[in-house]
Amino acid sequence: MSKFQNAPGTFDLLPPDSAAILAVRDAMAAPLRLSGYGYIETPTFESTALFKRGVGESTDIVTKEMYSFTTRGGDEVTLRPEGTAAVLRAVLQANLTRGSLPVKVWYSGSFYRYEKQQRGRYRHFSQVGAEAIGAEDPALDAELLIAGDDIYKNLGLTEYSLLLNSLGDQNCRPAYRAKLQEFLLGLDLDEETRRRAEINPLRVLDDKREAVQKQLTDVPLISDNLCEACKVYHEEVRRLLTEAGVAFVDDPKLVRGLDYYTRTTFEYVHSGITGSPTAIGAGGRYDGLSEELGGPSLPSVGWALGVDRTLLAMRAEGVPQPGADRLDVFAVPLGEQARERLFKLVTTLRRSGVAADFAYGNKGIKPAMKAADRSGARYALVLGERDIAENVIQIKELATGEQESVSLTDILTTIQEKLK
């Protein structure tokens, strides 16, 4: 055993569980590919200023959770805590918005936040995200919300809820912000929360502490203060979801933990991970973020789905773990001549699409067959010197123990027929 271990709050993806992670990622990407989203990948670290400007300097992510450091060249960089700001930076830098709009992209990768480690909340976590950049259209919001709902249903989840809200826009948000700020500053709040209320009062609504939530019973709600345009927009999103058969719950206190959201805001939550509603995916519209980053006006919408949390939710519901890698064939050679012949056969099988492994290390028959049993393969191929002389090979079905001799000449066809 190594004296080194992974850093606190992180984890290793190891077989066989890693196969489930890959399967969940693929399931999340599938409807995005069908909807015209192209893959994008950004660096693991970006300029610290990007996240301060894009995510918001008053957010917990920026003030408490970012992994930031100075490079040897003196650059201030940060391990990415979320995907949207980096993706938008890349799209702007590459001038992708000069073509047809919206630019629709999806991404997958690891993200990093310094948080208190607990079940479903790690300092290193995996997400699949999607962004539709450059169009203000309720149908685009609905497209992503429907895709997220389809993803969770296709993975077998049933005990999740979609929470939905609108945060207004630059026309109605300022008046609501002032009204909310006046209300909050009249409460009995600690100094840090009062300071947050002065900088960004909406962030206080996202405070999970019971002492704060108890005082928010009569808080003014953004849903009661939307301008007519935002009301119409939000009602259209709701209508499209209803027509698509997507169930949702209106949550007028939902604000999310990032400063860039406008209008449509949402979370997919599940209670099976920690015993209380936990976000397994979330997102919203961010119509002003491009300008914050120095770009043109590009109304946009996106979401990120937690791969790790989704898998935890599936396990909480007892949904079968997807994507277990399974071998079709495990090859066991007996002798050097058999080893050479069988290795060539394994290579041919793999090239024809058959998942095959080999008893490496010159194992004897007993340890080699134990390795075959542990591999989970459906069949073992056993080849000895006598078999070669007779131009046959032994096929053993590992689940039943049934064994037969097959012509070496016909082995590829025989295996393919058996696997059907």
- What DSSP line would sit under 304-325, residue for residue? EEEHHHHHHHHHHHTPPPP---
Q: At what angle do helices 228-243 and 138-154 cross, to 10 degrees?
A: 40
Which residue numbers in the chain have pLDDT < 70?
Answer: 57-58, 257-259, 324-325
The answer to whether the beta carbons of residues 24 and 321 sit under 8 Å apart is: no
* Strand 103-112 relative to strand 38-39, pairing: parallel
Element (H or E) spanning 346, and its range?
helix 336-351
What is this structure's pTM? Answer: 0.87
Query: What is the DSSP-derived secondary structure letter of residue 53?
Result: H
At 55-66, the pLDDT tens digits run 876 677 787 889
Q: What residues are paired with 300 via a beta bridge? A: 133
Read off the DSSP letter of residue 286.
Answer: -
Residue 58: its pLDDT value, please?
A: 64
Asked if residue 322 lies in contact with residue 24, where contact means CB atoms within 8 angstroms, the answer is: yes
Q: CA angle, corner 131, sides to 254 and 295, nearest 5?
A: 100
Beta bridge partners of 302: 131, 284
pLDDT of residue 189: 84
pLDDT in the model for residue 339: 94
The residue type of 266 is F
Helix 48-55 to helix 84-93 angle (10° resolution) is 110
Q: Tell me the backbone φ, ψ of residue 243, rounded to 5 degrees.
A: -65, -30
Q: Which of 89, 40, 47 lies closest to 298 in space, CA to CA?
A: 89
What's the confidence (pLDDT) of residue 324?
66
> Structural domains in the chain?
17-172+226-317 (3.30.930.10), 329-419 (3.40.50.800)
Write down the pLDDT at residue 300.
Answer: 97
For residue 272, the one-letter residue type is G
Where on the phi/psi map is residue 318: left (φ > 0), alpha (ψ -120 to 50), or beta?
left
Helix intervals (H) in 114-227: 138-154, 173-184, 191-199, 202-205, 210-213
Give residue 257's pLDDT.
62
